[in-house]
């Protein structure tokens, strides 16, 4: 019958119980978009905290970028037209 070679030290034995008091993390749902969320934290998907927008999200920035690209494209169109006229 196999037998442990050495006695397990108190530190090694007691470290087994070190994580006994840990509890699973509390997870709530965002009131704005229902995304899973740690409690007392800003929602990373919609940027809301306590019903108020407090943070710009990746999606917000993407939408703004698209809008600016649209406006710049509209501005550049007449310039391109004038450029063609100049070539003719």
Q: Which residues of the chain form contacts with Zn ion (CB under 5 A)? A: 30, 32-33, 35, 43, 45-46
CB of 3 to Zn ion, least distance (A): 57
Q: How far apart are CA 30 and CA 51, in angstroms?
A: 9
- Is the Cβ–Cβ distance between 39 and 26 less than 8 Å? yes
Which residue's CB is nearer to Zn ion, number 33 or number 55?
33
Min separation Cβ 24 and Zn ion, Å: 22
State which residue, 58 or 77, has the beta carbon closest to Zn ion: 58
Cα–Cα distances in angstroms (integers) from residue 1 to residues 5, 7, 86, in the given order = 12, 17, 97
């Amino acid at each position: 019958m196999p037998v442990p070679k050495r006695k397990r030290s108190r530190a090694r034995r007691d470290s087994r119980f070190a994580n006994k008091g840990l509890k699973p993390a509390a997870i709530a749902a965002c009131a704005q978009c229902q995304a899973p969320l740690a409690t007392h934290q800003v929602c990373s998907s919609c940027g809301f905290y306590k019903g108020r927008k407090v943070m710009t999200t990746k999606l917000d920035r993407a939408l703004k970028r698209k809008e600016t690209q649209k406006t710049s494209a509209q501005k550049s169109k007449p310039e391109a037209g004038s450029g063609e006229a100049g070539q003719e």
